[in-house]
Amino acid sequence: MANKNKNKKYYHEVKIVKASEIKKNEYNPNVVAEPIMEQLIKRIDEEGFLQPILLRNIEPVGEVKYEIIDGEHRFIAGQKAGYVEFPAIILDKKLPDAMISTINMNKLRGEFDTLKLAEVIHELNKTYSIEELEEKLGYTSDEMQGLENLLKFDYDQFQEESDKLDEEGEAKEYRFEVILTQEQYEAIMRALELAGSEDNSEGISLICKDYIKRYGEKTA
């Protein structure tokens, strides 16, 4: 089937816009936890503003003539890092389409594959110390240790023990604690909701078993 957008032309404008000409929108559902915001400010301060914000033209009110579609937190962080001008893409969108774009662009960012992230951290550790990685990536020591521990885990043994416990119908109880960011906590709670288990421990176990069943061979 032919792509109906193949010959469609998009009239987007790329320019540098003064912070005083920009306003935040009132409908952005995305929330960023304070530690992540602090890390964003730090990255922009150290590396510069690497990703433009997306704006739309609005009826001017004083000096303000653009509204943010995507990049509100980059805009806030950039201001706190001392920026008074921002690289921007001006989209030709009316309010309803702008609202849809705001939601879709936040949805499409996705989540980290924790195991893959652990592998990347392990590889980076060949060049940088754990302390340097904590500084560069904004992770705590406990979070870094947790990622490293993922690669040391014997998944085959876990699967064997899990199968054995299922057959015997009983298991010892263990206490397991982790420190999570707001985003990680929300992802886990959403996964538990999808697992449909009233017992959180059982729900987490089901999710882990499913993950190991799908990807365990890759980590063996």
For 79-119, how does the pLDDT look when each residue is reduced to its tens digit (9 = 90+)? 999 999 999 999 988 888 888 888 788 777 766 677 777 88
Q: Which of 33-42, 190-199, 207-216 has the highest mean pLDDT?
A: 33-42
Between the alpha carbon of residue 157 and those of residues 4, 111, 153, 212, 220, the distances in Å are: 52, 28, 9, 11, 10
The chain-wide mean pLDDT, for the chain, equals 80
Is pLDDT at 28 greater than 90 in this prediction? no
DSSP sequence for the chain: ---TTTT-----EEEEEEGGGEE--S-------HHHHHHHHHHHHHH---SPEEEEEEEEETTEEEEEEE-HHHHHHHHHTT-SEEEEEEE---HHHHHHHHHHHHHTT----HHHHHHHHHHHTTTS-HHHHHHHH---HHHHHHHHHHHH--HHHHHHHHHHHHHHT------------HHHHHHHHHHHHHHT-SSHHHHHHHHHHHHHHHHHHHH-
**Res 35: pLDDT:** 86
User: How do residues 123-134 score in pLDDT, each as one tens digit?
Assistant: 888 888 888 888
| Maximum mean pLDDT: which of 52-56, 142-146, 175-179 | 52-56
Sheet holding 85-91, edge to edge: 13-18, 85-91, 53-61, 64-70, 22-23
The one-letter code for the residue type at 217 is E
In angstroms, the CA 34 to CA 21 distance is 26
Q: What pLDDT does 23 receive?
A: 97
Q: What are the φ and ψ backbone dihedral angles of 10, each rounded to 5 degrees?
A: -110, 125
- pLDDT bracket for residue 1 (50, 70, 90): very low
Q: Are 115 and 179 in contact (CB under 8 A)?
A: no
Residues of the chain with CATH 3.90.1530.10: 13-107
Of 21 and 201, the structure prediction assigns the larger pLDDT to 21
What are φ and ψ of residue 28, in 5° steps? -70, 120
CATH class in words for 13-107: alpha beta
pLDDT tops 80 at residue 207: no
